[in-house]
Amino acid sequence: MPEKEEMQQQLKDAVIKGNRNAVESLIRALLSEGATPEEIMDRMMIPAMDVVGEQFSRGDIFLPEMMIAARAMNTGLAILKPMLVAKGAATKGRVVLGSAKGDIHDVGKNIVSMVLEGAGYEVIDLGIDVSPEKFIAAINEHKPDFVLMSALITLTMTAMEDAMKAFKSAGVRDKVRIGVGGAPLTQDFADKIGADFYGKDARAAVTKCNELTGH
């Protein structure tokens, strides 16, 4: 296997095994070999998380291993972040973002945040397990153009639906555009809960936000 290809496989393995030091040094080596941050994220790191999910489903690994892999993933993302965000131009709009109530998965949300910042959006990241009340307070405080919610488990998809209802009751639903995403979501689900858009990945989030802000 040529050296670069070998390193790509090694990076994938390092994320799967949660070896943070190896993740860090392999990313740096790949960057110096000319790999782009997007390539590293899309072709190596994200597919590694899919392998972790499959191993968990099969019962080959358990929660601690899944957690360690996610930590290694977030370490890698932190290295790539300055490169992705540096590309950003002037502010195109303000985004409030968070994982739905009850959901502690944050890797996908962090990628969405980074890619949006890189595309010129100001992002206010509310973190994980964000209650509807916290989203509502952020809408009132920051007056964002968009509220984006991420859910990775079927259970927290319901929490998203509850959040939509809470936004309506609080009278803030029509003040913002709402986007939703996360591995188990579909366009049908987004339509059902009355979101303004669904995005299958971080780039789709940018495309949709650009369309809706006329950029």
Q: Report the alpha-carbon distance of residue 11 to residue 37 in Å, rounded.
A: 13
Q: How far apart are the first and last CA of the chain?
A: 43
Q: Quickly list DSSP for 124-180.
A: EE--SSB-HHHHHHHHHHH--SEEEEE--SHHHHHHHHHHHHHHHHTT-GGGSEEEE
H-assigned helices in the chain: 3-17, 20-32, 37-39, 46-58, 63-85, 107-118, 132-142, 154-169, 187-193, 202-213
The CB-of-1 to ligand B12 minimum distance in angstroms stands at 25
The CB-of-63 to ligand B12 minimum distance in angstroms stands at 5
C-alpha 150, offset from chain centre: 7
Identity of the residue, 1 or 81, whose beta carbon is nearer to ligand B12 in the bound complex: 81
CB-based burial label for 135 (10 Å; 0-12, 13-18, 19+): buried
Identity of the residue, 2 or 129, whose beta carbon is nearer to ligand B12 in the bound complex: 129
The CB-of-46 to ligand B12 minimum distance in angstroms stands at 5
The CB-of-164 to ligand B12 minimum distance in angstroms stands at 13
The CB-of-97 to ligand B12 minimum distance in angstroms stands at 7
Identity of the residue, 2 or 59, whose beta carbon is nearer to ligand B12 in the bound complex: 59
- The residue assigned the tokens 């860090």 is 24
Identity of the residue, 86 or 104, whose beta carbon is nearer to ligand B12 in the bound complex: 104
Token readout for 149 is: 């919610």
Q: Where does this chain bind ligand B12 (CB under 6 A)?
A: 46, 49-50, 52-53, 56-57, 63, 66-67, 70, 102-109, 111-112, 148, 150, 152-154, 179-184, 199, 201-202, 204-205
Identity of the residue, 132 or 182, whose beta carbon is nearer to ligand B12 in the bound complex: 182
